[in-house]
Copies of this chain bind each other. A is one copy, B any other.
């Protein structure tokens, strides 16, 4: 790869990282090129697709944050505290970083590394959930897919409320957490959890990906 191409790729990565974090993963590619001071043709030439760009730019940052949250959650003595910490922290990350919100509530089949990260995050969630359930604190009918739903709704709400009420999500999360404790459960849930395939479809629609 020629030196100028290297430089342009770097400029594009920087611009994309900024815009993704400011406005989410659907930001127009032409705008990224504009901010990088480069023709949009160059962006297509160097990255080809939006998902490839996302994969390069977003994955590592997101991975660091999510892994750290999961690790800390599991390190807490109290299993419920760990579970609550995880949810609150991830929701807070979503509130402050639209890119991360999209990662968790979207579907980017072309972004391989990102998908791997999602799988890893899902595994970590499952561990955190199961630990809290084994400790008797978290209701046993709650699943990793349900948690994804929580993150999905939180992504939408935090984005909608980012300007007018940037902390509003904390109320919603508090209500949900209170409903997830074992002693809050009243009767069997009306329907079973989603299968991974259903989840995949739903995520696609949540983010507008067909």
Binding site for B on A (CB under 8 A): 142, 146, 149, 152-153, 156-157, 159-165, 167-168, 170-172, 174-181, 183-186, 189-191, 193-194, 197-198, 201-203, 205-206
Contacts and interface: CB of A to CB of B under 8 A. Distances in A.
A205 B146 contact: no
Residue from A178, A202, A203 whose CB has the most chain B CB atoms within 10 Å:
A178
A202 B161 contact: yes
B171 A178 contact: no
Contact of A179 (B160, B179, B194): B179
Given A149-B168, A191-B171, A163 B206 contact: no
A202 B165 contact: yes
A109 to B, nearest CB: 16
Copies in the complex: 2
B198 A165 contact: yes
A209 to B, nearest CB: 11
Contacts of A163: 201, 205
Contacts of A201: 163-165
A190 B165 CA distance: 13
**Which 6 pairs, one residue from A and one from B, show the smallest C-beta to C-beta distance?**
A179-B179, A164-B201, A160-B205, A178-B179, A153-B153, A170-B190
B172 A149 contact: yes
Contacts of A161: 194, 198, 202, 205
A161 B153 CA distance: 12
